[in-house]
Amino acid sequence: MASLATLQPAASEAIGAGQAVATAVASPAPVTLNTIVTDVLTWVGLGTLTPSVPVPAWPVPSVIDSFWLAVRDLHRRITGGVVVGTVTIAGQPSTGLALSPRPVLNADGTRALITTVTTPLSNPTTRAAVIDTASGIQAGATVEVPGMPVKTLFSADGSRAVVTTSAYDSTTSTYLTRMAVIDAASGAQIGNTVTLTGGLQLVNADGTRAVITSAGTNPETQVKVIDPTTGTQFGSTVTLPGNTSSPAVSSADGSRVLITTGPSFGEAGTTRAAVIDLHTGAQIGSTIALLGHTLDLPVFSADGSRAVIGATEGDGLASTTRVAVIDPGTGTQIGTTVTLAGTGYGSGAPRLNADDSRALVTSHVQVAATGTETTVVAVIDTATGMQAGSAQTFAGFVHPLLSADGTHAVVVSPVTGSSTQVATIDLATGTTVGTPITRPGTWYMPLAGQLLSVSADGRRILLASDVTNPNGSHSTQVAIIDAITGAQTGTTVTLAGTEFGSRLVSTDGSRAVIETDTYDGATSINTNRLAVIDITTGAQIGTTTTLTGFRDGSLFSADTSRLVITALSSNFVTTGVSTTQVAVINTETGNQVGSLTLNTANGSTLLSANGTRAVVNTGTQLAVLDTVTGAQVGATRTGGSYDLVTPDGTRALVVTPVPVLFNPLTQVDILQIS
């Protein structure tokens, strides 16, 4: 599924996506004559010259190879966290202001966009600076834009930065949006600052088009496509009845934008959707209407040939959910509207399977007479827009999970008598495979960890059950079963505490990470436990990792071979010293490979996109972990109010306010961490 792909800022407004969703752990660069020279240039702050180094990639003798690998390791240990540059910008960091944007990186991490705000806040000016992360030097001069910053982003290709501000105009009693475009390479503003009425929805991949929406009368939404450097509008304004109901969504190739509007909150009305050609600014086809309020974000297929929208009408006891498939090429609806009983709220947007050939839709029905709920599940063929098979109803408020290969959906629902039903739906036909199985006890599929509780082929599923022990404490039982036959793999694993964030890991789905939490009322301390289970045998591998504190987050490398988990604890009853604990787990062996404890229980952890570096920032302290070895890189240093990590794991940026009476400053330290 590619709902926000090309036109939304990949590494900036992916909202830190490059930090938390990592790619495979990188291997060290091979030692050649070229890499020795480029290593040295990088270490002395001349990394930008490395692409043009006229040195051949000749192999070196094994003794030099071994020696240079040792030099690299020594350099990492000694210089990790060394400041390679500091940039100071007038104004306070925008990160400390409500609804204001945070610093962002472009897709390859070579440029960072930092914004500050001048005082007084009653008449603010936004200052924007582009920083070269390799050299630690600001590119060009700071760009000033009147108003409070509301959105900052890089175009998907990373060549342009866009800064949008908002300010109230007392003469017209309206809010004005101002937009400035900055060349990411030079840091210079492109064109003039554009002033308009409305809000920025998205910017295309190369930063040459922006979609703006503004409120009209009755109510209505006006949509414009403009050149963000000049304010020139492409095509005519597209006007849709209703208020903007969800952010604009683009196709992956950047040629189409889908705009949805709906009624005001609490009012009955209609959801409308229009497809707009981003190049011409013109609407394609006709406006499509569904009764009800817009159901979450519309979704695009990866090839941009289909989009799916949904709407829900009515209250919880008498609701109807409607779903339509759209051809963005023609702007017309495919097939007829699919209607389900119940509300789609709480179920999320329709979900596309791996090849985008099917959309899975769920709704929930409240039964007033019994006070119970049921879940309705339907499968839609996106090629025809028609429903595949018949809608199926399951007990309880449940969320079907898709298998990675896109062929099946699994539904786990409670049934009478403290037992659990497991049903598998064939997405090709929309029908249940065989007879649903029933398992004694109350079981569920953990929904944390990006819904990864189903193996790639949909056959093996991870089930958890919360058990109350005789002493009142809780334990978690975990079982791996075959979703078709009900056969369990291995024996049930029991861990102390309540399940909190389990998921399948490894590219072949052969491991499951189980996380639990227990709370000790006498000491007011949470204990977080983590265990790895081999789902081919059902047995735990390695040892259980234990952290003091409540889990603050779990970050996986993309191949899931490394897990970085953070726990926070106040410890006010015991030591009186609050802590942030971080552990690195090798999910292939189930063992902990490294850990770190910092004082102050307000830490946050970021993972580089290549999965090699984890940066832990508590504000007062900042430390870097090598996730391959688990060792700390360099010494612990002073943290800041916000930090960023480049995708390659070589640089971290730390943003810190500098309190100066009447003239606050913002300091940005660029650290070498690899």
Dump the DSSP string for 180-210: EEEETTT-PEEEEEEEESSEEEEE-TTSS-E
32 touches 59 (CB < 8 A): yes
593 touches 557 (CB < 8 A): no
Please count the CA atoms within 13 angstroms of the CA of 397 that sit on its side-chain side.
13
Residues 6 or more apart in contact with residue 409 via CB below 8 angstroms: 360, 377, 379, 400, 401, 402, 403, 424, 425, 427, 458
pLDDT at 361: 93
Residue 248, classed as helix, strand or coil, is: coil
Nearest to 596 by CA among 553, 572, 627, 561: 627
Distance CA 276, CA 278 (A): 6
Whether the model clears a pTM of 0.85, i.e. scores above it, the answer is: no
Handedness of CA 584, 590, 593, 595 (dihedral sign): positive
Residues 6 or more apart in contact with residue 638 via CB below 8 angstroms: 620, 621, 622, 656
Number of H helices, E strands in the chain: 3, 52
Nearest to 526 by CA among 497, 505, 499: 497
Please give the torsion angle defined by the CA atoms of residues 261, 267, 270 and 275, in that order, rounded to the nearest 10 degrees: 0
H or E element at residue 65? helix 62-79
Question: Residue by residue, what is the 3-state secondary structure of 591-624?
Answer: EEEEEEEEECCCCEEEECCCCCEEEEECCCCEEE
Distance CA 189, CA 162 (A): 10
pLDDT at 24: 31
Q: What φ, ψ does residue 38 adopt, rounded to 5°? A: -65, -35
Q: How do beta strands 270-277 and 293-294 pair?
A: unpaired
Distance CA 669, CA 649 (A): 15
pLDDT at 51: 63
Q: How do beta strands 419-426 and 474-482 pair?
A: unpaired
H or E element at residue 66? helix 62-79
657 touches 119 (CB < 8 A): no
**Within the chain, which residues score under 70 in pLDDT?**
1-29, 42, 44-52, 75-81, 96-99, 266, 315-317, 416-417, 447-458, 506-509
- 562-599 exposure pattern, b = at least 16 Cβ within 10 A, e = fewer: bbbbbbbbbbeeeeeebbbbbbbbbbbebebbbbbbbe
Distance CA 600, CA 621 (A): 9
pLDDT at 1: 37
pLDDT at 471: 87
Residues 6 or more apart in contact with residue 242 via CB below 8 angstroms: 219, 220, 221, 261, 262, 263, 269, 270, 271, 272
